[in-house]
Amino acid sequence: MYRKKVSTTLAVAAALGLLLSSCANQPGTSGSGDTAGAGAGAANKVNIPALTKIDTPAGAVLPKGDGKGKCPATTTLAYAGAETGANAQLGVNIFNGIQLAINEHNAANPGCQVQFKKYDTEGDPNKATGPVTQVVSEPNIIGVVGLPFSGESKATGNIFEQKGLVHITPSATGVSLTTNGWTTFFRGLGNDGVQGPAAAKFLTGKLEAKKIYVVQDDSEYGIGLATSTSAGLSSALAGTEKVTTGQKDFSAVISKIINAKADAVFYAGYYAEGAPFDQQLVAKGFTGTFIGPDGVKDDQFIKQAGDASNNAYFTCPCIPGELIPTFETAYKKLANAEPGTYSIEGYDAATVLLSGIDAGKQTRPDLLAWVKSYDKDGLSKHYKWDSKGELQAPTVYGYKVDNGKIVPVGPIGE
């Protein structure tokens, strides 16, 4: 765990943990109309606690700083990642968080007006190298938030490394990303080696699933997460299957799931395929639990899956942004939407870079050194990285679809 200090992560985890422990043994009150799976109704095992809002922690670093920042007018931060494409909403969530941080910084620091540029990768590893090459070729860009997805991060890490450009991903969770010897890559959340075992424990513990089928897509992210989750399921693993990016018909794999009498399905992938998969599962008579990771946890999943999404839970190494009223209010004013998955992580990652700029770290080498030695609270967690760019002991949270909304059910895997 972190050193014993006041930490945003621990505060949020404690709040959600108390809620979960107080509600877990009470009769269900969500009214979401879930039906039970083959194994004792796994989909109805965790009740929905009322959200408890928490104030902005006193020790959290905020983008505005002390308002005394000074920097050249050309100082620029960038976002590189999906703005369009099948899973673009996850990227939109992030760059809205970044934009909010930069807006707040610039409003408070007339002497340091940081510019913001966005580069669309479509979330595609095969297309990401072009935009990232553009990013590193812009001398005024001294720090980057992105890339959101593991596959595109793997494809572009060497490009950032060669130019010494620091980048913080708010959402890419592939374990191997920090084993490439890169010194410019930092991960602002837990990796799949943390999330997979937590998901397995959530399924077999709080959800009481007995037979779980694991289905993975063909992305770097899906493969890694399915592997770590399957390993944690042990004898509860009913089977595994693979699907492909862009797949529309899941009837073959659904037949295998139903024949295996699985009472839960864990889908390692993104919402673009996860939504029609869940929809077809329910249409074929599956009455158990559907659980997806952070790549599926988005309002777009609910919109695309429709009523079938009532059986869904999610895991995510991200905190619920709506638990921090000041952030939620400001984000809604900017984006005309509730904070989404990784909105607050995008905000925090930008804040790390902005605080470095305000401290006079205004070259690529200086800002990189700033991030390497960073040791402060953000809104979502404590940010301190090891020599590989990994955070220490991040928390994984569980979420549930309830009345058409994604709501938290508390920390999992602990």
3 within some domain: no
Q: What is the rounded distance in angstroms from the CA atom of residue 266 to the CA atom of residue 243?
A: 13
CA end-to-end distance (rounded Å), the chain: 11
Which is it for the CA torsion 255, 259, 260, 265, positive or negative? positive
Q: Which has the higher per-residue pLDDT, 25 or 91? A: 91
Please give the residue range of the domain that contains residue 345. 76-191+324-383
For residues 365-393, average pLDDT: 94
Tally of structural domains, the chain? 2
pLDDT in the model for residue 16 = 42
Using one digit for the tens of pLDDT, what is the confidence trace for 115-171?
A: 999 999 999 999 999 999 999 999 999 999 999 999 999 999 999 999 999 999 999
Q: Looking at the structure, do residues 81 and 163 belong to the same domain, yes or no?
A: yes
Confidence band of 3 (pLDDT split at 50, 70, 90): very low
54 within some domain: no
Q: Looking at the structure, do residues 223 and 361 belong to the same domain, yes or no?
A: no
For residues 343-368, average pLDDT: 98
378 within some domain: yes
Q: What is the rounded distance in angstroms from the CA atom of residue 174 to the CA atom of residue 147?
A: 12
Using one digit for the tens of pLDDT, what is the confidence trace for 305-342?
A: 999 999 999 999 888 777 788 999 999 999 999 999 99
pLDDT in the model for residue 46 = 67
75, 114 contact by CB (below 8 A) = yes
For strands 396-402 and 405-412, give the pairing. Answer: antiparallel
pLDDT in the model for residue 409 = 87
Q: Above 90 in pLDDT, residue 52? A: no
- Say which range, 23-27, 88-92, 220-224, 322-326, has the weakest mean pLDDT: 23-27
Q: Above 80 in pLDDT, residue 37? A: no
55 within some domain: no
Q: Looking at the structure, do residues 182 and 201 belong to the same domain, yes or no?
A: no
Q: Looking at the structure, do residues 43 and 153 belong to the same domain, yes or no?
A: no
132 within some domain: yes
Instruction: Please state, for a pLDDT cut of 90, what percent of the chain lies above it.
Output: 79
Other CB atoms within 10 Å distance of the CB of residue 281: 25
Other CB atoms within 10 Å distance of the CB of residue 47: 19
390 within some domain: no
For residues 268-279, average pLDDT: 97
Q: Looking at the structure, do residues 374 and 356 belong to the same domain, yes or no?
A: yes
Q: Which amino acid is at 362?
A: Q
Q: Looking at the structure, do residues 280 and 366 belong to the same domain, yes or no?
A: no
Give the CB-side neighbour count of residue 197, counting CA atoms within 13 A: 9
For strands 382-383 and 376-377, give the pairing. Answer: antiparallel
Q: Above 60 in pLDDT, residue 4? A: no
Mean pLDDT, rounded, of the chain: 88
pLDDT in the model for residue 394 = 75
Per DSSP, the three-state class of 397 is strand
CATH of the domain at 20: 3.40.50.2300
For 319, phi then psi, to 5°, come to -90, 155
pLDDT in the model for residue 13 = 44
Q: Looking at the structure, do residues 85 and 162 belong to the same domain, yes or no?
A: yes
